[in-house]
Amino acid sequence: MLPHLDAAYNLARWLARDDVDAQDVVQEAMLRAFRYFDSFHGGDARVWLLAIVRNTFYSLRTKAAADDAHETFDDDVHTFADEQPTPEARALLALDVSTLQTALENLPHPLREALVLRELEECSYKEIASITGQKIGTVMSRLARARERLRAEMIHHSTEARRHDVP
């Protein structure tokens, strides 16, 4: 499992949004992986460990009632109007890593986890479905919504930044 420790921390960090909480999640996930290693029947150890990290995060999150910063995902509430950015805006957005990180952190957990697993951890749709316990169709639709929401967040941030520019 040690070769996959970085991937486990990366997923935990994006889910928890905090280094210390991510370390706690990974520590607990590694303990669970060790405790239940006899249930591992071969296959992709990375996918198995990432599923444990994800499940550990959500189980610890539900135990921590003081964490009121979470939001429930609702398709009707979490949709944005379609605004097409100009090519110049797209170029500027592509260069702003800070904007991307902020926009990614603002996504609801289900969308953020799907994007992190696909784009940062380079998991296949099948692997994401296995990790999250979702159907592949659900994974694909979440990724489509996540990409659209991320694009809208970045456009919104870019528009806000331009309002504060001095001519």
| Percentage of the chain modeled with pLDDT above 90 | 31
3-state secondary structure of 84: coil
- Pinpoint the alpha helices (H) of 17-135: 19-35, 45-63, 87-95, 97-105, 109-115, 125-132
Taking alpha carbons only, the member of 64, 66, 65, 69 closest to residue 17 is 69
Note the pLDDT tens digit of each residue in 69-78. 555 655 555 5
pLDDT at 2 over 80: no
Mean pLDDT of 79-100: 62
pLDDT attached to residue 26: 93
More confident residue, 131 or 102: 131
pLDDT attached to residue 59: 85
pLDDT attached to residue 62: 77
pLDDT attached to residue 23: 93
pLDDT attached to residue 58: 87
pLDDT attached to residue 146: 92
The structure tokens 């929401």 sit at: 149
- pTM higher than 0.85: no
Helix 136-163 × helix 125-132 angle, to 10°: 100
Instruction: Let me know: does 31 contact 74? Beta carbons within 8 Å.
Output: no
The confidence band for 89, taking pLDDT boundaries of 50, 70 and 90, is: low
Taking alpha carbons only, the member of 159, 156, 123, 160 closest to residue 142 is 123
Note the pLDDT tens digit of each residue in 24-69. 999 999 999 888 887 877 788 888 899 999 989 988 887 764 445 5
Give me the chain's average pLDDT, please.
80
pLDDT at 81 over 70: no
- The one-letter amino acid at 113: E
